Amino acid sequence: LVLVCKKVKACVSLGRCLVSCPSLTCADRNLLPYIIPYSCFPVLERAFSSRKAHSARDMEGPLQLVRSLVPPLSAQKHKGQDGRIGVVGGCQEYTGAPYFAAISALKVGADLSHVFCTREAAPVIKSYSPELIVHPVLVKCISKEAPRLASAVLGRGSCRLVAQHGSLLSQGILEASRARDVPVVIDADGLWLLAQHPALVHGYRRAVLTPNHVEFHRLSEAVVSSGPVDGTDRREAVRRLSQALGNVTVVQKGEQDVLSDGQHVLECAHEGSGRRCGGQGDLLAGALGVLVHWALLAGPEKTNGSSPLLLAALGACALTRQCSRQAFEKHGRSTTTSDMIAEVGPAFRRLFEP
């Protein structure tokens, strides 16, 4: 059957059985390339590489700390104790990003999820889900709600070109959040704003930035003054950017997510999928908004001396990758962010609950 198999999927299934077989000797393993069709063997090698297993073992300790941050469910709690999350973003052209972030926050376990958006975007975002509290954004509305928020997620679909409702809005809520010690997760257009005005976040230890490759490069050029950033050493580059911003937590998204608070550097190598549909960063930002709140609420006795924001970021990265993996197993190339969001509950239980 193996010799005539032409489907990689069948070969991978066979390879999983063979590689995990406890009675397989070293000599037997050396024969695998001859037993399995040669064109399929690189797939097996990637799927069962020792480096991937080693990375998973390395992550188990930090993920155990993340598990300790998850608050227990209790009938004695009141609505809002597990988090009121505010997502700032959404304009006429972009309504999906703030929705994905806000609904992901609810799926992870926040009690309430607010969206502050432009007037044109509000009815559209409202129509996506009755579970979101959508505000046609007004400065006085933000000022009223900001003190009640457990965390704020800035920059999702903010339409930087609409300065009055985009950048100025993000700047206003960022300043209001910082004045009240509200944790903030900043991505997308919020990062573009910080490249212009890095002082807005400099030294604010309750901020987490989640740049992709392009956003990271733009930020580094704007704030890192100690020579050019070596793009080949991602760990050092992320650490230097964090330090240049006053040790805020930075998560550079990529094949492996690299996280730093300026002192420590972590990598999230949790297996995801090869699908790169738009919206995965929105899921990450929404999940991170909740986990940051829980991490700060848990206190130092639960974080074992580790940075609470760094642990929260690691948990959000691992959860996003697990959602991607589970969705891809069901939908393959057609996987979208909506499919991933449907996996948040099962993925969360698998990673963080007994």
- 115 membership: H or E segment, kind and range: strand 112-117
Report whether 120 belongs to an annotated binding site.
Answer: no
Report whether 282 belongs to an annotated binding site.
Answer: yes
Report whether 274 belongs to an annotated binding site.
Answer: yes
Report whether 331 belongs to an annotated binding site.
Answer: no
pLDDT digits 0-9 by tens, 313-334: 999 999 999 999 999 999 999 9
pLDDT digits 0-9 by tens, 244-284: 999 999 999 999 999 999 999 999 999 999 999 999 999 99
How far from the centroid of its chain's Cα atoms is residue 292's Cα?
11
Under 8 Å between Cβ of 160 and 189? yes
Report whether 262 belongs to an annotated binding site.
Answer: no
pLDDT band, residue 168 (cuts 50/70/90) = low
Report whether 157 belongs to an annotated binding site.
Answer: yes
Report whether 279 belongs to an annotated binding site.
Answer: yes
What is the four-CA torsion angle of 271, 55, 248, 280, rounded to 10 degrees? Answer: 0
Report whether 253 belongs to an annotated binding site.
Answer: yes
Range scoring the smallest mean pLDDT among 26-40, 74-88, 132-146? 26-40
Report whether 51 belongs to an annotated binding site.
Answer: no
Question: Is the predicted pLDDT of residue 18 greater than 70, yes or no?
Answer: no
Report whether 278 belongs to an annotated binding site.
Answer: yes
Report whether 61 belongs to an annotated binding site.
Answer: no
Report whether 276 belongs to an annotated binding site.
Answer: yes
Q: Would you tell me which CATH number, out of the four given (3.30.479.10, 3.40.1190.20, 3.30.750.24, 3.40.309.10), belongs to the domain 59-352?
A: 3.40.1190.20
Q: What are the sequence ranges of the domains in the chain? A: 59-352
Report whether 280 belongs to an annotated binding site.
Answer: yes
Q: What is the pLDDT of residue 226?
A: 67
Question: Is the predicted pLDDT of residue 335 greater than 90, yes or no?
Answer: yes
